Amino acid sequence: MSGVSNKVLMQQKSKQSSIKAKAYTTKQKILIIANTISGKQQMKKYLHSVQQLFAKKGETEVKITQSKGHATELAKAYGDDVDMIVCCGGDGTLSEVITGLMPFDNKPELGYIPTGTTNDFAKSINISKNPELAANMIIDGVSRHYDVGLFNNKYFIYVASFGIFSRSSYAATQQMKNTLGRLAYVLEGAKEVFSLKSYHLKITTDNEVLEDDYLFGAISNSTSIGGVIKLKDPNILFDDGLFEVVLIKYPKNILEFGQILHALQTGQYQQSDLITFVHTKKAIIESNEEMPWSLDGEFDPGAPVVEVTNVHRAIKVVH
């Protein structure tokens, strides 16, 4: 009798092991959304090898973006039918993909291969600039939750900014970015230095109301903004439900402007009276004039009242 029992027990264990092995070896459905003209068009060179790497992980399909907003359309169309979407492109392409995924209750995992000009989000979470290395980081990586920003009715992944240097992120043409790389942003930004403009704003955060004339402002979930501002606060987390808000007051003279530049170079923002740095879940920005914004490097016309909300742990990024 005990022999029969042992046999049954062994069969049950064998069956359980078989089920576990099957679950482990089940291949994923993967969609690669690639912007092959972003950055210096390096994805054209690496697309085939990247696709081959992911083919080992599962059934892989590639879609190449054809126009602005196309990545959002692709993410919406395929997001409910795949296990993972791999975005190949710059910060703007990544933002488009996330916008397409946000309506889904059960979102696919997201992989990111940064091939843009600044790749601020990738820098913040230490994703390799080499497409093949970034692909392997996804294949061998783990899934981590990240917050997403909601700017009135638009989503962004790492920053909403206004003022000096914000315009350069969307004013530089694709041809300039492909030819000059980050220098394209520097040249566009240099134009703004000679025509500094301030905005009188009322900004309401979780714990305080700020009102002043500002040269620049950013609401971010990143440690790098435009490749210019580096945030070194150890309390910056990407899944804590909080934004980091950086506000730079309009300088009254050349001495104050020099103080701002020094703070930007050293990263010692909290030691300057001209720079405000706060954490908040939500921010309301009120302006009495037109003020354009940059959302993940893309132009947005803004509005007299802008409400920015943190969508806590909204997506899962594998790296």
The DSSP letter of residue 129 is S
pLDDT (0 to 100) of residue 195: 63
Q: How confident is the model at residue 40 (pLDDT cuts 50, 70, 90)?
A: confident
pLDDT tops 70 at residue 8: no
128, 148, 168 - which closes a domain: 148
Supply the CATH number for residue 81's domain. 3.40.50.10330
Q: Which residue did the predictor score with more confidence, 254 or 1?
A: 254
Q: How confident is the model at residue 18 (pLDDT cuts 50, 70, 90)?
A: very low
Q: Six-digit token pair at 122?
A: 């990738």
pLDDT tops 90 at residue 113: yes
pLDDT (0 to 100) of residue 160: 96
pLDDT tens readout for residues 283-316: 999 999 999 999 998 889 999 999 999 999 999 9
pLDDT tops 70 at residue 226: no
The whole-model pTM stands at: 0.83
Q: What's the rounded mean pLDDT across residues 178-188? A: 42
pLDDT tops 90 at residue 170: no
Residue 52 counted as domain residue: yes
**192 flagged as catalytic:** no
103, 124, 148 - which closes a domain: 148
Find the length of the chain: 319
Domain shared by 312 and 237, yes or no: yes
Q: What percent of the chain has pLDDT over 70?
A: 81
Nearest to 319 by CA among 120, 137, 109, 133: 137
d(CA 214, CA 219): 14
> For residue 209, what are the CA distances in angstroms to 205, 276, 283, 285?
6, 12, 10, 10
pLDDT (0 to 100) of residue 227: 63
Residue 3 counted as domain residue: no
Residue 131 counted as domain residue: yes
pLDDT (0 to 100) of residue 183: 40
Residue 9 counted as domain residue: no
- Host domain of residue 201: 156-318
Q: How many Cβ atoms sit within 10 Å of the Cβ of residue 292?
A: 13
d(CA 92, CA 41): 15
Q: Six-digit token pair at 17?
A: 């092991």
The DSSP letter of residue 229 is E
Q: How confident is the model at residue 68 (pLDDT cuts 50, 70, 90)?
A: very high
Split into its structural domains, the chain has a count of 2
Q: Which residue did the predictor score with more confidence, 118 or 87?
A: 87
Domain shared by 269 and 143, yes or no: no
Supply the CATH number for residue 215's domain. 2.60.200.40
pLDDT tops 80 at residue 171: no
Indicate which residue of 96, 109, 192, 298 is catalytic: 298
Strands (E), 24-163: 28-34, 58-64, 84-89, 109-114, 143-151, 154-156, 159-163
List the single range of 31-40, 142-151, 190-199 with lowest mean pLDDT: 190-199
Q: Which residue did the predictor score with more confidence, 230 or 180?
A: 230
Domain shared by 301 and 181, yes or no: yes
Helices (H) and strands (E) in the chain, counts: 10, 17
Q: Six-digit token pair at 68?
A: 């602005």
Domain shared by 204 and 311, yes or no: yes
Q: Which residue did the predictor score with more confidence, 168 or 99?
A: 99
113, 148, 183 - which closes a domain: 148
Residue 302 counted as domain residue: yes
